[in-house]
Amino acid sequence: MKLMVLTTETLHHIYFVKQLYMVHQRDAYESDLFFKGKNIKLKDVAETKNVDSVNSDKSINLIKKYSPDIIIVGGTGKIYKDVIKSSNHGTINLHGGDPEQYRGLDSHLWSIYHNDFNNFIITIHHVNEELDDGDIILQKEIRLTKNMKIHELRSYNIQIVVELAISNLDMYKRHGFFISRPQRKKGRYYSFMPSSLKDICVKRFNKYTLNL
């Protein structure tokens, strides 16, 4: 099975690629959480190709050259039709939220802002031409714990993303396709949260976890 990951040069996405590489390529990397403070690049854990945009002609030509069975998208922004159609068996997205409630960006922060502490969900779904409304393949809840701080959310998030992505690939290996369901409702689209609202979220989150 050939796999291509479309993502960005951020530590939590690098960690995700590294973990997939460990499981499916049986590489000899240590399984420490993140990287013990080392300055790790994507090229240190997997073969990489840099493009200005995942939707550019260069990106599409590279995808066609490698002809991946599956494309995994994480943190790239909107994916256009030519990229979606470039994989042999599907393009799937890693969404840090529940797209039936929160589409777009900063989903968990918007959930906190709305005092909606029952929607800390991680989702893997098919990619189509409209943002975050493809059929849902897998979901799992982030369980909040007493005195958990808001800055811990991303590390919890990426560990669940790794778990779901591995389960997702195992499903494909067993069945040759992804078992999925249509979304029951279309969530509201949100953009980046302004810094002023993030301060409100920190207070609400800390208050909530303090009382768990």
Q: Which two tokens stand for residue 152?
A: 């811990």
Query: What are the distances in angstroms from CA 68 to CA 64, 161, 201?
Result: 8, 20, 40
Q: What is the pLDDT along the chain (212 residues), one digit of tens a residue?
A: 777 888 888 888 888 887 777 665 544 433 454 556 577 777 887 888 899 999 999 999 999 999 999 999 988 888 898 898 888 888 999 999 999 999 999 999 999 999 999 889 999 999 998 999 999 999 999 999 999 888 888 788 888 999 999 999 999 999 999 999 999 999 999 999 988 898 899 899 999 999 99
**Helix, strand, coil % over all residues of the chain, rounded to 5:** 40, 15, 45
**Residues in CB range of 64: below 8 A, 6 or more apart:** 86
Q: Give the tokens for residue 194.
A: 């302004």
Task: Show me where the domains of the chain are located.
Answer: 3-210
Query: What is the topology classification, in CATH, of domain 3-210?
Result: Rossmann fold (3.40.50)
Report the alpha-carbon distance of residue 112 to residue 203 in Å, rounded.
Answer: 10
Decide: helix, strand or coil at residue 103: strand
